[in-house]
Each structure stands twice: as structure tokens, then as C-alpha cells.
Amino acid sequence: MGVYSAIDNRAAKTLSAVAQEFEAGIPIRTCAEGKVMFGGEKLGVQRLTASYKVISKWMGRVYVYTWQFFLVDVSFPSNALITLKYSGKIGGRKSARFVSKSADVKHIIEKLNQDKKIKEICERIDFETIHIKYIEEKQSWCVEMRPNYGDFIWILLPPVFYSRRPNKKEVESTIQLIGQLSKYLGNASV
């Protein structure tokens, strides 16, 4: 047993508890090896998972809650990356927008940025990141989202454990966002 095994076990329990908040809207299929697999078919996605990205610090660890899902798209022309950016004042009204350096995704970015529901959700939840990547060799889109809920933080001195479960509105909004993103990425070539 390693130094962090007890902490990792506690983080795994927290991951499971956070994931259970979504079970009413997205059924949980499996929960093992630090990953929760959901049935995302109703939302139009494949391999919908929740897991932690572990960041080791000098006096602790941060387990960053991460959503990931895939969408098959055999006709998109090349690798591409779309990211979510925020602009505006700290503590004031912020504006969310999707950006990319790839010209192939211009029409997708326009659709995402014009969708009021997507923008409203992104402005309300405050995601650390949303990365939307097209992987040509896998002929699919990979979406990774890191919201501001669900993280598990452990600090050695003084001994502190902290996590925040999503509230009901964040649960509903996250499920809506996954569905909206699948709608645009599922027809990305059109």
C-alpha cells in the first residue's frame, strides 16, 4: 500500500457520490478503477465517463472532476481542437465563447456560440476547461469537460479534505450541455 492509497480510496468514494447525483438523468453502468461509466445513449454520446485527473502538490493532492465522452463522425476532414474561453471581469459578468485555430471547425464554432442554452450553461457553471477534439484516426469527437463542482482536495497540514457536490441546477445543466454538444458534433460535417 502506498502513501496515497487511503486518500485515493476516499477520493474514489467521493467520485462515486458525485456521480450518483446524475443517476436520475443518466444511468450509471459501472463504477470501478477510478472511473464511473454512464449510459449516454439517451444523450446521443458514447463512452460517457466521470473520473478524476490527479494533480499532486507538495503538501497534498487535487482530484479534478472530469467528464469525457465520444461521438463518431466518419466524414470530418482532419484533426481539430475547439476550446471554451471566458472573457469579462473577475467577479462580474463573464462571457463564454468557443474558439479554434482550425478553419475546418468554423461552422461548428458559429453554431456553438450562437446557441443561447450552451452559452448560458457555460457562463453559469464556470468550467475550468472544455476541450472538443476531433481525432481523425479514431473518426470521432472526444469531449472533455472539467466543471467547478465534484473536485476532491486533500491537504496534508493541517489535515483537510474538501469536496463539493453539484447542486440540482448544475446537474440538470450538465446533462443539457452534453445533449446540446452531441447535437452539433453528431452532425459536424453538415
What the block records as the C-alpha cell of 81 is 481542437
pLDDT per residue over 88-108, tens digit each? 766 667 899 999 999 889 999
Give the Cα separation of 53 and 186 in Å (integer). Answer: 26
Residue 35, sorted as left (phi over 0), alpha (psi -120 to 50) or beta, turns out to be beta
Q: Which residue has the higher pLDDT, 32 or 19?
A: 19
Q: What is the mean pLDDT of residues 115-127?
A: 93
Q: Which residue has the higher pLDDT, 160 or 37?
A: 37
pLDDT at residue 2 above 70?
no
Interacting residues of 64 by C-beta distance below 8 A, sequence separation 6+: 52, 53, 54, 55, 128, 146, 151
CB 47 within 8 A of CB 35: no
